[in-house]
Amino acid sequence: MKKINTKVILLTVIFSLIFFWTPLPYFIEMPGTSEDLRDHVIVNGKKDDYKGSFMLTTVAVRQATPFTFLTSFFNSKQELVSKKEMMGNSNSKEYDQMQNYYMKNSQNMASKVALDLLDKPYEMEYKGVYVMSISDNSDFKNKLTIGSTISHIDGKKIESSEELINSVQSKKVGESVTLTVEEDNETKEVTGKLIELDSTKKTGVGISLIDHTELVSSENIKFTTHDIGGPSAGLMFTLELYSLLSQKDIRHGLEIAGTGTMNSAGEVGRIGGIDKKVIAAEYAGADVFFAPDDPISDELKEKYPDIKTNYEEAVVAVKANKLNIEVIPIKTVNDAVKYLENKK
């Protein structure tokens, strides 16, 4: 009898460990946090001390277990996403590096746009090309890291991504090149052979890339967002910076949350998870939620007949969850500024 009880207990423990703790190749997205940007942005040594707040909003992500996988189907505020959908072909480290890049780029764009709005001078300093992905057949597959910056090729400084591409395409498949790479605040050189790219049949390194620039200004702008990644805080960073740089109270005591990417022209772009972010904003006591009113192309409408703008998605979420927050459609940063000016 004791042996049977011991076996039952042991099997129960093993089952419980598997059911409650085994990670699955799925993630669960749910409403995250709303972060007061006065805790994350400092300009010339000063924090925002006006009443109210600008808040960036996040989506909380947890890896699913068999237990949470099943319970997610009974919670309307949770969404199950496959690892492939979320991370593509990247591993966890590469995914985190990309999210870190997107966050830094959003801060860069926010700084540029805020300074543009106030006609303040700055320069965009070219750092090199940012490695976005690496082909499996690239000779640099285990020599480069996603998120690193290539600054030189064969000892020559790169002035643009186009220059790097042209330099590589002038060489033959199988030729060796040496790349100077900056990674984790360290500089190293890596050498590898060029390949024929499957997509173009031209000579290449076997990476996807984007220009890496950093803004240089006499204004001392600092961000502290260590545990937050992605591009979606661009709009809210821009508004916080605009307020600090102009030394104006543009909130008038309102608690304002929002989301949306920011490009160099001040246009606000589409993001994911807005239905969860507007709930997070309500939980944090926000009065207003700024949502991207992104244009939907005819091609997208044809491919996804039920597609909605981020603004429309947020409005649906407000009604479905009986929220009290006011959702404001935003196409450009100027839309947000004008809305706030009219609140005086």
Alpha carbons 54 and 84: distance in angstroms, whole number? 33
208 is catalytic: no
264 is catalytic: no
Task: Give the pair of three-digit tokens for residue 263.
Answer: 């490009």
Alpha carbons 137 and 199: distance in angstroms, whole number? 13
The bridge status of strand 207-216 relative to strand 221-223 is unpaired
The bridge status of strand 186-193 relative to strand 176-183 is antiparallel
CA dihedral sign of residues 60, 64, 65, 67: positive
Residue type at 260? Answer: G
Q: What are phi and psi of 288, to 5 degrees?
A: -135, 145
Task: Give the pair of three-digit tokens for residue 147.
Answer: 């998120």
DSSP letter assigned to residue 171: S
Out of 72, 111, 148, 232, pick the active-site residue: 232
179 Ramachandran zone, left/alpha/beta (phi>0; psi -120 to 50): beta
Out of 112, 276, 277, 331, pick the active-site residue: 277
- For 161-170, the CB contacts below 8 A with 24+ separation are 161/129, 161/209, 161/210, 161/211, 164/129, 164/209, 165/204, 168/194, 168/203, 168/204, 168/205, 169/202, 169/203, 169/204
Q: Catalytic residue numbers?
A: 232, 277
